[in-house]
Amino acid sequence: MSKLQLIATCPMGLEAVVARELKLLGYEDQMTENGRVTFTGDELAICRANLWLRTADRVLIKMGEFKATTFDELFEGTKALPWDQWIPEDGEFPAQGRSHKSQLSSVPACQGIVKKAMVEKMKERYHREWFPEDGARYVAEVSLLNDIATLTLDTTGPSLHKRGYRKLVTEAPLKETLAAAMILLSRWTPDRPLYDPFCGSGTIPVEAAMIGWNLAPGLRRSFPSEAWPAIGTQLWEDARNEAIDSVRDDTPLHIGGSDIDPSAIAVAEAAVKAAGLTGEIQLAVLPVAKARLTGDYGCVITNPPYGERIGDPEEVQRALRQLGALTAGSPSWSSFVLSPSKQMDHYFGRPAAKKRKLFNGRIECALHQYLGPLPPRNRKEDAL
């Protein structure tokens, strides 16, 4: 198999989480930059990363990188790359692009140059003047930053946050990738209770259950690179079998969620069913003021409404006060709250142990972390 440079793209602030996920998959040769983690892998790594990464958006093949201040440089640099090693004679290969702080600032023009260069490369390989482009899809992207062009092939297709279980959405839904990041950044483990009192469409409870059962988030969806001859069906089958064999659906879970909106709970219940988790997550139509935390050493992980997104400011303040009151009654619990509010410490009556900057869409937020005690260690386990 080939030694490839791969890129896992992600929202700003999640790079370290993605890097940790990749290390757990065995890919330790990596470099973290803003919005991406570049790592070394082979064709099987493409399959495994797409199936397993919970917090990344896409997995790209890095085809090449070079300086491009003129269209001639962009054309020649693109043509020199090994597109023909990946794209067959009938492949569909659209070109997309973006440019920031670069002399080549016209994105449509750059896309046109990249497409033309790819066609010329394909002509040399396949000895023909015209390509039907009626086969598998290979989306190329040129990204220009400070006059450096990075050329990639997208192996993922629709963003990895589209797991396949959420057919309906509520107003201002939380992305699955961000929900998974909140859980992975928390202290929660599957043996502890988890509760989301503003669960909306149920994304946090579902993502937590998938983590608890070690369900690969991409297992229920497809990827355009599954049809690429350069990867082959056997590697995808091997990666999927590995993911199926890794499921731990005998792990007992104690996950719950509630929301004041009955229609939101209906959407959440549909998502739970589609994810195959019926009976593992308890949902209820309930205002936060009437919610109760049961059990010890649990975790509240939640994304309460923002004035910018949903609800008026007075409703938001009231919801945050009620959230603070809910958690105050359970001192053994830890809370992880994603919010842009600067007054969260006031509502919780104590300073957060840590605040991590994250972005919910374009809204700058913080993951406010209020830590309770860790569960006591199991004496039987200590004796082993």
Q: pLDDT tens digit string along 178-194?
A: 999 999 999 999 999 99
Helix residue spans in 229-358 (DSSP H): 233-245, 262-274, 313-328, 344-348
Give me the pLDDT at residue 382, please.
43
Count of Cβ atoms closer than 10 Å to residue 154 Cβ: 21
Residue 224 carries which DSSP code?
A: G
Identify the band that residue 311 occupies on the pLDDT scale cut at 50, 70 and 90: low
Q: Evaluate if residue 17 carries a pLDDT over 50.
A: yes
Give me the pLDDT at residue 34, please.
93
Quick one: average pLDDT of 290-303? 97
Count of Cβ atoms closer than 10 Å to residue 324 Cβ: 20
Give me the pLDDT at residue 167, please.
79
How confident is the model over 352-379, as pLDDT tens digits? 999 999 999 999 999 999 999 999 986 4
Identify the band that residue 308 occupies on the pLDDT scale cut at 50, 70 and 90: low
How confident is the model over 191-213, as pLDDT tens digits? 999 999 999 999 999 999 999 99
Residue 104 CB-density burial (10 A; 0-12 exposed, 13-18 middle, 19+ buried): buried
Rounded to a whole number, what is the largest CA-CA distance in the chain? Answer: 74
Quick one: average pLDDT of 134-149? 97
Give me the pLDDT at residue 203, please.
96
How confident is the model over 31-51, as pLDDT tens digits? 999 999 999 999 999 999 999
| DSSP assignment of 65-114 | EEE-SSHHHHHHHHHTS-GGGT--TT-B--EEEEEESSS---HHHHHHHH
Residue 299: phi and psi, rounded to 5, are: -130, 125
Cα-Cα-Cα-Cα dihedral sign, residues 38, 363, 265, 284? positive
Identify the band that residue 380 occupies on the pLDDT scale cut at 50, 70 and 90: very low
Residue 355: phi and psi, rounded to 5, are: -130, 120
- Nearest 10 degrees: CA dihedral of 57, 22, 256, 286? -30
Q: Evaluate if residue 173 carries a pLDDT over 50.
A: yes
- CB-CB contact of 216 with 53 (8 Å): no
How confident is the model over 264-277, as pLDDT tens digits? 999 999 999 999 99
Count of Cβ atoms closer than 10 Å to residue 343 Cβ: 11
Q: Evaluate if residue 309 carries a pLDDT over 60.
A: no
Give me the pLDDT at residue 384, please.
38
334's tokens: 């830890």
How confident is the model over 61-72, as pLDDT tens digits? 999 999 999 999
How confident is the model over 229-249, as pLDDT tens digits? 999 999 999 999 999 999 999
Give me the pLDDT at residue 381, please.
40
Among 82, 75, 93, smallest CA distance to 149 is for 75
Among 60, 40, 42, smallest CA distance to 50 is for 60
How confident is the model over 326-359, as pLDDT tens digits? 999 999 999 999 999 999 999 999 999 999 999 9
Give me the pLDDT at residue 168, please.
74
Give Cα 318 distance to the centre of its chain.
31
The Cα-based distances of 152 to 20, 139, 249 in angstroms read: 23, 8, 37
Q: Which of 12-21, 261-270, 292-301, 373-382 has the lowest mean pLDDT?
A: 373-382
Task: Provide CB contacts within 8 A for 273, sequence distance 6+.
Answer: none
Cα-Cα-Cα-Cα dihedral sign, residues 181, 186, 190, 192? negative
Q: Which amino acid is at 55?
A: T
pTM exceeds 0.85 for this model: yes
* % residues pLDDT > 70 (the chain): 96
Measured between alpha carbons, how far is 226 from 46 in angstroms, rounded to an integer?
Answer: 10
Angle subtended by helix axes 203-212 and 262-274, to nearest 10? 30
Identify the band that residue 383 occupies on the pLDDT scale cut at 50, 70 and 90: very low
Give Cα 86 distance to the centre of its chain.
26
Identify the band that residue 287 occupies on the pLDDT scale cut at 50, 70 and 90: very high
Give me the pLDDT at residue 312, please.
74
Residue 64 CB-density burial (10 A; 0-12 exposed, 13-18 middle, 19+ buried): middle
The SS3 call for residue 5 is: strand
